[in-house]
Amino acid sequence: MPSLEILSFNGLRAGALVCLKETRLEAKCAAVKALHAAWHEGGLALEQQEDLAASDAGDGIPGRPGKPELVSPLQVKSRSMRTPEGRAALIHALAHIEFNAINLALDAVWRFADMPRQFYVDWLQVAAEEAYHFSLLAAHLETLGYAYGDFTAHNSLWDMAEKTQSDVLARIALVPRTLEARGLDAAPPVRAKLAQAGDQAAAEILDIILRDEVGHVLIGNRWFAWLCEQRGLDPVPTFAELSIRYKAPPLRGPFNLEARKAAGFSDEELLMFKDMAG
């Protein structure tokens, strides 16, 4: 059982690496839940100083099943929401985002040493919530007659994780604050489409996801501000420079200003986003 594997480790970050490398969907979600519980029950130490990236990673990161087939974003087919298959494809795309988000949060826990204790606690919490979101979407997909892996998907989220694996500042700037923050903008119109198509259950899942994602982006904003302060950097121009250096996908409006403000973006940053989006 995943829980026994994790509890055999004497460390949170080592446990996060076990979860990250797990390829089986249900086992990965169960392992994350068990790791989260073990930590909050006081059963795990935090090996803050250990450079796990140098000694323990190996192959198999991130762990994922053989399907879905990963293709270019341009090759992911767009399907009509008027058909059951089209709605299933949309739910599948959302599930794929959440599955990647599990791995991204786990990767932040195990990869980056010498961060404050709360950094690891925060991203463990994010991983647990992303696993919950994925489970909700995967279960709903099955009610539509499909399973995760039945449609193609792209790998843009994890591609950015690989680009930023050597710098925690770049990772936080360009994954939670950029790519995942897109979900704050996209969730309301997607929810409206699902509700209009008569899929109220899916719409209610989107409500849960948006509520939690505001908190996840807020965590990203807090750690970005902390890292900038530690390095003596101005957050606004630093973000713009990192976006260019790492070739982050262009920002696109319209922005969900209410959600972005709740997630900790300042008025100055929101103006910058509008400028960057043209």
**Higher confidence at residue 108 or residue 275?**
108
Q: Is 8 contained in some domain?
A: no
Q: Is 124 contained in some domain?
A: yes
- Number of domains making up the chain: 1
Q: Is 210 contained in some domain?
A: yes
- What is the C-alpha separation between 83 and 188, in angstroms, rounded? 20
Burial of 49 (0-12, 13-18, 19+ CB in 10 A): exposed
Q: Is 14 contained in some domain?
A: no
- Please name the residue ranges forming H helices in 144-199: 156-163, 168-174, 182-196
Q: Is 232 contained in some domain?
A: yes
CATH number at residue 111: 1.20.1260
Burial of 42 (0-12, 13-18, 19+ CB in 10 A): exposed
Nearest residue to 170 via CA among 121, 227, 213: 227
- What is the C-alpha separation between 214 and 221, in angstroms, rounded? 10
Q: Is 253 contained in some domain?
A: yes
pLDDT in tens, 106-140: 999 999 999 999 999 999 999 999 999 999 999 99
Contacts (Cβ under 8 Å, ≥6 apart) of 242: 169, 170, 173, 174, 248
Q: Is 43 contained in some domain?
A: no
pLDDT in tens, 224-237: 999 999 999 999 99
pLDDT in tens, 175-193: 999 999 999 999 999 999 9
Task: Extract the tokens encoding 255.
Answer: 């922005």
Q: Is 63 contained in some domain?
A: no
The range of the structural domain enclosing residue 192 comes to 73-276
pLDDT in tens, 5-20: 444 666 999 999 999 9
